[in-house]
Amino acid sequence: MEIYSSPLVDGLIILPGSIIPCNVKVSTGRGTKMKNPRFRPPNDPNKKLSRIRYSSNLTALLEDAGIETVNKGVNTAGTDVGGIVNFSTERLLKWYSVRFRDCAEKTCLNEGKAIHGKLIKTGINPDTHLFVSLINFYAKCGALNFARKAFDEMPERDVVSWTALISGFVAEGLGSESVELFCEMRREGIRHNEFTLATILKGCSIASDFEFAKQLHADVVKGGDFEDVYVGSALIDLYTKCGELEYAENVLSVMPEQNSVSWNALLNGYAQMGDGDKVLSLFCEMMKSEVRFTNYTISTVLKGCASSQILRAGQVVHSMAIKLGGEVDDFVCCGLVDMYSKCQMVNDALHIFWRIKNPDPATWCTMINGLDQQGQKVEALDLFQLMMRSGLRPNQFLLSAILDTAADLGNLEFCRSIHACICKYCFDSDTLVSNALISMYMKLGLVFEGSQVFSDMSQRDVVSWNALLSGFHGNESSDEAQMIFKSILVKNIKPNKFTFISILRNCASQSNASFGKQVHAHVLKNGIDI
């Protein structure tokens, strides 16, 4: 094929029919050519341009819109909208709609905003389909204020546009706001569809608005929406998250069509509750129903085995995963690591861990905790260092766990390095991590450092106070311990079992029977069984 280079084709890709791979850049140097006797360059510039496409996602859009000519002076760098000519309004609307959908899939907020700006400059009024694409784009990019603004500009709103906006709020974890939007939709006389119902049920779950969810359930029964498997699955997920597992089972039993999603939701609910026996029982029922289970199902059953430490059943599920080829799936492997670690089979867990291509922070945390609980604390620290060298960002659960491990070893230098890591990743404002930091410094006898972390906390819970209290024991710190305990009571923080154990030990160390009796009275008042 003979290609004559031109400034117009720099950075462009030859359309199907050519033999140049898409990743080959066409040179603009004079005289550069690739020869093929079967191809001759077109003489007409418009025909020549009709054979090229932009590398910045214009490909399918031009083909779909049936564009035959492109403005000769189109700018290929940046947003490629301004140079397109001979568009009918209908084709332009379709073109913009596809572009917004593409930006939504890639969550490219800035690119989508630039395209939106071009749309405004054209003066074209978007139709309903384009408005929905615009709302969906902003919602998926988390720009809910822009999504709402676009929604409010719609002359006529239908259930699809409402659902797009509601799903954006649900995706951002704004459950209460999504419920308000749903009620607003109803007031406008718009009836929901199955997608709206499935979405708002998730919103109810996030907002813990179970009373409203029950009203929706009644609407589902009344409207016959149980026919939709996604609505039924959303109801099951809702009831499992609020602990109403019997309701969830009832929903599953009356669903005319069941799939792996609905079964997985119920299995996960019992796994979260730590009822491994029920998980296994339901899994057997699922297999009898001939619903095909997935790798997610396997990992959920493994979670149930892990929570109840049912090793034998976990090994059976492991063998099933091997037969089905699921052992190579990272998701299943993470479940196996969790199961073997919690069943105290740390060597088996390690064997599987090393086979995972891309373990996530939760899996690293599980493996490190497993080593720590088996007394292999040095190995746990080594694994943490390996994770940090791999470039993964730790989460707050892993950092709090590794702080406890480092403190048990008395490795002050390593503890300080973890503290620096916490500050680097901005976890110093996290209550869970700060509590672990206080406990770490108190275990090492560094009361001042621990107290400083406590003072810097913006939010404290009873665990924070317990961690602080744990550093003050013995005769030399009896007054401080009593002051801390009194502060807990004054601030209306409800002390727990560990609070009382800590202060009673302090009373015992200084033989302070009088204050010990006062503490005992509080123990009885709070009904604490020590």
Q: How far apart are CA 307 and CA 305, in angstroms?
A: 6
Distance CA 432, CA 44 (A): 69
Estimate to the nearest angstrom the gap between the alpha carbon of 296 and the chain centroid.
Answer: 16
pLDDT of residue 412 exceeding 80: yes
Those residues with Cβ within 8 angstroms of residue 320's Cβ, 6 or more apart along the chain or in another chain: 298, 326
DSSP state of 157: -
Q: Which residue has the higher pLDDT, 250 or 66?
A: 250
Question: CA 454, CA 452: separation in Å to the nearest integer?
Answer: 5
- Identify the weakest region by mean pLDDT among 143-152, 214-223, 263-272, 405-414: 214-223
pLDDT in tens, 17-63: 333 334 434 334 444 444 444 434 444 434 433 333 333 333 343 33
Structure tokens at 338: 């969790």
Q: What pLDDT, on the 0 to 100 scale, is given for residue 184? A: 93
Percentage of the chain exceeding pLDDT 90: 33
- Please provide residue 444's backbone torsions phi and psi, each rounded to the nearest 5 degrees: -85, 0
Per-residue pLDDT at 248: 87
Give the contacts of 59 (CB within 8 A, at least 6 positions apart).
13, 53
pLDDT above 80 for 425: yes
As given in the structure block, the two tokens for residue 260 are: 């792996």
For 53-57, 263-267, 294-298, 450-454, which range has the lowest pLDDT when averaged over its residues? 53-57
Give the HSE-up count for residue 112: Cα atoms under 13 Å, Cβ half-sphere. 27
54 three-state secondary structure? strand
pLDDT of residue 185: 94
Q: What is the mean pLDDT of residues 61-87?
A: 38
| DSSP letter (8 states) at residue 15 | P
Digit-coded pLDDT (tens) for 310-332: 999 999 999 988 887 766 688 89
Q: Which residue has the higher pLDDT, 474 or 73?
A: 474
Per the CB < 8 A criterion, the answer to whether 135 and 168 are in contact is: yes
Phi, psi of 65 (to 5 degrees): -80, -10
| Helix segments in 123-259, DSSP class H | 128-140, 144-152, 159-171, 175-187, 194-207, 210-223, 229-241, 245-254
Tokens of 80: 């490629």
Highest mean pLDDT pick, 58-62, 105-109, 157-161, 292-296: 157-161
Give the pLDDT confidence score for residue 193 in this predicted structure.
Answer: 87
Helix, strand or coil, per DSSP, at residue 16:
strand
Q: What are the angstrom distances between the C-alpha of 526 and each of 129, 442, 502?
A: 60, 27, 16
The conformational region for residue 290 under phi > 0 = left, psi -120 to 50 = alpha, else beta, is left
Which backbone phi and psi does 53 adopt, to 5 degrees? -140, 155
Q: How confident is the model at residue 241 (pLDDT cuts 50, 70, 90)?
A: confident
Mean pLDDT is lowest, of 22-36, 45-59, 204-218, 277-291, for: 45-59
SS3 state at 155: coil
* Per-residue pLDDT tens over the stretch 339-381: 999 999 999 999 999 988 888 888 898 899 899 988 899 999 9
Short-list 224, 158, 165, CA closest to 191: 158
Domain ranges of the chain: 1-86, 274-352
The conformation of residue 18, written as its DSSP 8-state character, comes to B
pLDDT band of residue 170 (cuts 50, 70, 90) is very high
pLDDT of residue 306: 93
pLDDT at 213 over 80: yes
pLDDT at 13 over 70: no
Q: Name the 3-class secondary structure at 14.
A: strand
Instruction: Over range 103-122, report the average pLDDT.
Output: 88
Residue whose tokens read 């493996």 = 367
Residue 2: per-residue pLDDT = 37
> Residues of the chain with pLDDT > 70: what percent?
80
Residue with tokens 């379709």: 94
Beta bridge partners of 13: 53
Query: What tokens appear for 20 in the block?
Result: 């140049």
Average of per-residue pLDDT across 483-501: 87
- Residue whose pair of structure tokens reads 């004559």 in the numeric block: 4
Give the lowest-confidence range in 34-48, 162-176, 193-207: 34-48
* Neighbour tally for 110: CB within 10 Å: 10
| SS3 state of residue 12 | strand
Whether 444 contacts 460, CB under 8 Å:
no
Q: What pLDDT score was predicted for residue 477?
A: 60
The alpha carbon torsion through 468, 470, 471, 473 (nearest 10 deg) reads 130
Higher-pLDDT residue of 156 and 73 is 156
Q: What is the pLDDT of residue 383?
A: 94
pLDDT of residue 40: 44
Average pLDDT, the chain: 79
Q: What is the pLDDT of residue 64?
A: 40
Residue 225 has pLDDT above 70, yes or no: no
Rg for the chain (alpha carbons), in Å?
31
